[in-house]
Amino acid sequence: MEGFFQRYLSLYRPLITKLNELLSTYELSYSLWQVMFYIKNHGPSTLVDISNQYQVEKPTITRRVHRLEELEIVKQIPGKDRREKIIQLTEKGEEIYKECRKKITDLEHSVMEGIHSDEKITTFHTLPKIKENILHREENKSD
In whole angstroms, the minimum distance from the beta carbon of 89 to DNA comes to: 16
Of DNA, its own copies, none, which one sits near residue 65, judging by CB under 5 to 8 A according to partner kind? DNA
Binding mask 89-128 for its own copies (x = CB under 8 A): --------------xxxxxxxxxxxxx--xxx-xxxxxxx
Cβ nearer to DNA, comparing 67 with 101: 67
Binding mask 43-82 for DNA (x = CB under 7 A): ---xxx--x---xxxxxx-xxxxx-------------xxx
In whole angstroms, the minimum distance from the beta carbon of 71 to DNA comes to: 12
| DSSP secondary structure, the chain, as one string | -TTHHHHHHTTHHHHHHHHHHHHHTTT--HHHHHHHHHHHHH-SB-HHHHHHHHT--HHHHHHHHHHHHHTTSEEEE--SSTT--EEEE-HHHHHHHHHHHHHHHHHHHHHTTTS-HHHHHHHHHHHHHHHHHHHHSTTT---
Q: Which residues bind its own copies (CB under 8 A)?
A: 1-16, 18-19, 30, 37, 54-56, 103-115, 118-120, 122-131, 133-135, 137-138, 141, 143
